[in-house]
Amino acid sequence: KVRMRMEDTVSSFQLNSSLVPGNLFNCHLELVLDSSDSGFFVYFDFMSMADETGGECEDDYVQFGRDILFITSHRSNKYCGVIEGALQSPPPNATMEDTQSITPLDKRIYSEFSDQEMDVWVKITVPNTGSRPKTLSLIVTPFKKSCNSQDRRYKKCGISQNCARAELFCDGAVNCALPTKVPQ
């Protein structure tokens, strides 16, 4: 397990299996925030891994969780398969076919509200040389569980009480990973 202190900095995690030695990539990260009034928003920018088999992500997956000391107390559902397409507003002349391959926001987000630490497990079976590589891109944004209008450093995420750093809004990245119709 690799422990990483994030403070209030947004982090982007990228993985391309063609750069991984061996046949299996197995990683356990523990992301840590300074304050108990903080949490994590996770946004899958893109992912190309093995699909579910029999309703389960077995060969490849990303999973989130939390622990108490050395005992895992919560694990999220596993994320696998393909997540694709930018979530910016489509151009006015876009057809239904143009937007069909875009993975909806609610299928590409995870939030950790309960703890100031979040475990991330990534498992990938590395494909043979010459095969299409498996890829993953995550954006992890620390958030405050509440803020007030006098706090100029933070801005509320939509109608929620959660707040992200103000300079992150309109930066082209999804930093408020909430199940809304329009990403922020």
pLDDT at 134: 96
How far apart, in whole angstroms, are the C-alpha atoms of residue 179 and residue 164? Answer: 15
pTM: 0.87
- In eight-state DSSP terms, residue 69 is T
- The string of pLDDT tens digits covering residues 20-69 is 999 999 999 999 999 999 999 999 999 999 999 888 999 999 999 998 88
Q: Two tokens at 114?
A: 């309960």
Residue segments in the chain with a per-residue pLDDT below the cut of 70:
86-100, 180-184
- The answer to whether 101 and 85 are in contact (CB under 8 A) is yes
pLDDT at 27: 95
Say which amino acid occupies 34: D
How far apart, in whole angstroms, are the C-alpha atoms of residue 39 and residue 23? Answer: 34
pLDDT at 139: 94
pLDDT at 102: 85
